[in-house]
Amino acid sequence: ETGVTQTPRHLVMGMTNKKSLKCEQHLGHNAMYWYKQSAKKPLELMFVYNFKEQTENNSVPSRFSPECPNSSHLFLHLHTLQPEDSALYLCASSQELGLATGELFFGEGSRLTVL
Amino acid sequence: GQQVMQIPQYQHVQEGEDFTTYCNSSTTLSNIQWYKQRPGGHPVFLIQLVKSGEVKKQKRLTFQFGEAKKNSSLHITATQTTDVGTYFCAGPILSGTYKYIFGTGTRLKVLA
């Protein structure tokens, strides 16, 4: 139990489907992140939110749409994905603001397969 | 853009042997963190180094931060099968954002 919960743990979707990944943190943190981890690439930062405000969009395609309704919840809305989007999507949170000196707490990830 | 590279990419060792992974950043890091990801698991924080030249130890693990704050290393003494996993370094860029750049990772396999 990391204090960061992700659902679903596994998701299979077609290219025309619309689905969402959910992340919830119980640590009282103010910053939340989405990372993508695929077999051939290191952890890729996708989005960063601080106090519900998006502070970073790392050139992510618009078929990925994040939403952060409050500091404890983070969503990643998925639509018209491509097979190459199949990966492990990791949510993380951290406490520190400013230059981000706090450790990241990761959820267990959502394994996405796009057919 | 900023890159963080790790070497080696893979390392197989016999149980009891030592292991070292090296992390090199293309830019200066304000601090560096190390994470471990077990097979099928998620990254778990190990340690953070902040000061130039800093050395920290956790039991059999020794972490170093380079004098120029652009490189770091993780050394494991007398590896055990429980050390299996991928080790990542990560550092925030100095842009004032919350952007952690992760290294490419070193996958360690320990043979019993």
Has residue A100 got a pLDDT over 60? no
DSSP single-letter state for residue A81? -
**Binary contact (B103, A42; C-beta < 8 A):** yes
A66: number of Cβ within 10 Å: 20
Give just the sign of the alpha carbon dihedral A35, A46, A50, A73: negative
d(CA A101, CA B50): 9
Q: How confident is the model at residue B97 (pLDDT cuts 50, 70, 90)?
A: low
d(CA B67, CA A55): 30
Looking at residue A24, its pLDDT comes to 98
Looking at residue A98, its pLDDT comes to 58
pLDDT per residue as tens digits for the range B55-66: 999 999 999 999
What residue in B sits closest to A111 (Cα-Cα)?
Answer: B40
Radius of gyration of chain B (CA): 14
**Hey, of B7, B98, B99, B106, which one would you mutate to test binding to chain A, going by the most A CBs within 10 A of its CB?**
B98
Measured in angstroms, the CA of B44 and the nearest CA of chain A are apart by 7
Contact residues, chain A to chain B, C-beta under 8 Å: 2, 31, 33, 35, 42-43, 45, 48, 50, 55-56, 58, 90, 94, 97-101, 103-109
Measured in angstroms, the CA of B13 and the nearest CA of chain A are apart by 22
Query: Which residues 53-112 in chain B show a CB within 8 A of chain A?
Result: 88, 90, 92, 94, 96-105
Q: Based on the number of CB atoms within 10 Å of its own CB, is B67 exposed (0-12), middle (13-18) or buried (19 or more)? A: exposed
Average pLDDT, chain B: 92
Q: Do A86 and A21 contact (CB within 8 A), yes or no?
A: no
pLDDT per residue as tens digits for the range B37-53: 999 999 999 999 999 99
pLDDT per residue as tens digits for the range A10-44: 999 998 889 999 999 999 999 899 999 998 778 99
Q: Which residues contact A30 (CB under 8 A, 6 or more apart)?
A: A50, A51, A71, A95, A97
pLDDT per residue as tens digits for the range A41-95: 789 999 999 888 888 788 899 999 999 999 999 999 999 999 999 999 999 999 8
Percent of chain B topping pLDDT 90: 79
Looking at residue B2, its pLDDT comes to 72
The closest CB to that of B45, out of A31, A55, A103, belongs to A103
**Which tokens sit at B69?**
């704050």
Q: How confident is the model at residue B100 (pLDDT cuts 50, 70, 90)?
A: confident
